Amino acid sequence: MKYLPILIIQLVVMGVIASCHGVQQPKPAAVSAKPVKDSVHIYSAAMLDSKKDPTCGMPSGSGMEDTLHLKNGKVIGFCSKECKEAYLKDPKQYPITYK
């Protein structure tokens, strides 16, 4: 009888240990293989040397999504990636108006 409390404590401890081993740990989230799309940056007119998008004529004050840094240190703003691509195909076709 004097060993009964010790036996009960041992059984409880063994039960707790056994139940902890049965607990499944959560699996880490899977890493996506998809590339993350770049966030869109809006450039203010103060950051640009051009008055407007040379391709479509949109004023710089409207906010530009893309820029081009020229060799002369000037920064041209473009309203979209498509306008920048059109400019890069034939820059001589699009005159730049500086501030």
Evaluated on CA atoms 40, 46, 48, 54, the torsion sign reads positive
Please give the DSSP secondary-structure letter assigned to residue 98.
B
Q: What is the mean pLDDT of the chain?
A: 76
CATH tag for 45-93 (out of 2.40.10, 2.30.170, 3.30.379, 2.40.128): 2.30.170
CB neighbourhood size of 78 (10 A): 27
Please give the DSSP secondary-structure letter assigned to residue 88.
H
Query: What is the pLDDT, as a whole number, of residue 92?
Result: 92
Collapse the DSSP code of 7 into the 3-class scheme (helix H, G, I; strand E, B; otherwise coil) and give the result: helix
pTM greater than the 0.75 cutoff: no
So where are the chain's domains?
45-93
Alpha-carbon Rg for the chain, nearest whole angstrom, is 33
Query: What is the pLDDT, as a whole number, of residue 9?
Result: 72
